[in-house]
């Protein structure tokens, strides 16, 4: 090996080594979560305190804080997001409760003497895709449990769940985001009327 060749070896290693590593790592499909109001009503008034939603089973995370939503089955691709799932669900519920007239205050946890409040638990949160020869099937499911508090005690426990299965040719992240949004909207359509009814 000549002196010139030996001189270039370290530089080649610097460029090739990350490429080799990336070849071993799974691919990622990035999803940006969003939510639009889906429950319509009126008649709410006063304050409601909302504790940060708690996941019964925490989603796995990648370095850098990326949350794994699920796999694209039949491939080496993971569906990921940099959004905070607890905050996404809380923001959606706040949007729905505010739209009917409540003033919703976000708190880390409810105090023992809370006048009116809601504690959300995420029982199930699943998201995956199945890659076929032509179409891609996107499946999502969300199950929530809400403890409704009034004057320092739980007055009602509500449950709601919904799922979605969509097929299409589009394999981009927005397809997953739309499916998750639709599933959360369906879940809150079931849950929110019960919360409103508990405070009347």
**Domain containing 94 — which CATH number?**
3.40.50.10610
Mean pLDDT estimate for the chain: 88
pLDDT at 1: 54
Q: Which of 125-134, 146-155, 167-176 has the highest mean pLDDT?
A: 146-155
pLDDT at 170: 87
* pTM as predicted: 0.85
Asked whether residue 95 is domain-assigned, the answer is: yes
Asked whether residue 149 is domain-assigned, the answer is: yes
Question: Angle between the 85-99 and 173-198 helix axes, to the nearest 10 degrees?
Answer: 50
Place of tokens 């009116």: 116
Give how many domains the chain has, as a whole number: 1
Q: Is the pLDDT of residue 84 over 80?
A: yes
User: Which residues are 47's β-sheet partners?
Assistant: 103
Asked whether residue 188 is domain-assigned, the answer is: yes
The tokens of 73 are what? 């089955």
The tokens of 95 are what? 């949007």
Q: Is the pLDDT of residue 65 over 70?
A: yes
Tell me the mean pLDDT in the region 45-61: 95
Asked whether residue 16 is domain-assigned, the answer is: no
Asked whether residue 85 is domain-assigned, the answer is: yes
pLDDT at 43: 83
Q: Are 115 and 50 in contact (CB under 8 A)?
A: no
The total of other beta-carbon atoms located within 10 Å of residue 195's CB is 25
The parent domain of residue 171 ranges over 27-32+44-198
Tell me the mean pLDDT in the region 52-66: 94
């Amino acid at each position: 090996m000549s002196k010139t060749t030996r001189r270039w070896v370290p530089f080649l290693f610097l460029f090739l080594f990350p490429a080799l590593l990336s070849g071993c790592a799974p691919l990622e499909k990035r999803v940006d979560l969003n939510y639009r109001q889906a429950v319509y009503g009126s008649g709410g008034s006063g304050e409601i305190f909302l504790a940060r939603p708690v996941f019964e089973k925490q989603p796995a995370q990648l370095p850098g804080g990326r949350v794994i939503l699920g796999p694209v089955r039949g491939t080496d691709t993971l569906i990921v997001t940099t959004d905070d799932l607890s905050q996404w669900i809380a923001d959606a519920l706040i949007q729905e409760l505010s739209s009917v007239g409540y003033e919703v205050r976000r708190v880390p946890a409810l105090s023992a003497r809370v006048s009116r409040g809601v504690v959300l638990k995420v029982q199930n949160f699943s998201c995956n895709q199945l890659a076929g020869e032509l179409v891609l099937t996107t499946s999502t499911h969300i199950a929530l449990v809400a403890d409704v508090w009034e004057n320092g005690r739980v007055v009602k426990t509500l449950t709601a769940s919904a799922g979605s299965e969509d097929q299409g040719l589009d394999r981009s992240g927005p397809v997953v985001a739309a499916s998750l949004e639709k599933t959360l909207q369906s879940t809150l359509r079931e849950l929110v009327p019960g919360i409103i009814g508990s405070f009347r």
